[in-house]
C-alpha cells in the first residue's frame, strides 16, 4: 500500500482508530472490500492503514461533502453496523483538515 500520494493541501483526513474484538472472523476481508470501494468514491484521495489488535486507518478526501457521501454509502453502512455488532471493542473517528504536509 505505502504512503498515499495526496495533492497539495488543503484536504481532509478521516482517522479511524479501533480495538478489535477477538475472534474477528470476516473482518480482514470486509476491510479490504471497504478500501476497494472507498477508492471508487468521488473525492477519495488515498488511504493508509495499520492493523493489529489496535487498528488505525487514515483516509484522505477532497471535501467534507465527499466524506459525508462515503459515510452514507449503503455498503459502508452495512460494514459499519457489522463492526459495531461483531468486530469492534471500541472505536473513534476523527475528521481533520490537513493544512500542511511535507516529505523528504
Residue 103, domain member (yes or no): no
Residue 36, domain member (yes or no): yes
Q: CATH number, domain at 46?
A: 3.30.70.100
Exposure string for 43-77, b = 16+ CB within 10 A, e = fewer: bbbbbbeeeeeebebbbbbbeeebbebbeebeebe
Distance CA 5, CA 79 (A): 26
Question: pLDDT for 77-98, tens place per residue?
Answer: 999 999 999 999 999 999 999 9
pTM over the 0.85 mark: yes
Distance CA 62, CA 48 (A): 16
pLDDT (mean) for 24-39: 92
Amino acid at each position: 500500500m505505502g504512503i498515499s500520494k495526496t495533492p497539495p493541501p488543503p484536504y481532509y483526513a478521516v482517522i479511524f482508530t479501533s480495538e478489535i474484538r477477538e475472534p474477528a472472523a470476516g473482518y480482514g476481508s470486509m476491510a479490504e472490500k471497504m478500501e476497494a470501494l472507498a477508492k471508487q468514491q468521488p473525492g477519495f484521495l488515498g488511504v493508509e492503514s495499520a492493523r493489529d489488535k489496535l487498528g488505525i486507518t487514515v483516509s484522505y478526501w477532497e471535501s467534507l461533502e465527499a466524506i459525508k457521501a462515503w459515510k452514507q454509502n449503503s455498503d459502508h453502512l452495512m460494514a459499519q453496523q457489522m463492526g459495531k455488532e461483531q468486530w469492534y471493542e471500541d472505536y473513534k473517528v476523527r475528521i481533520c483538515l490537513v493544512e500542511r504536509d511535507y516529505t523528504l
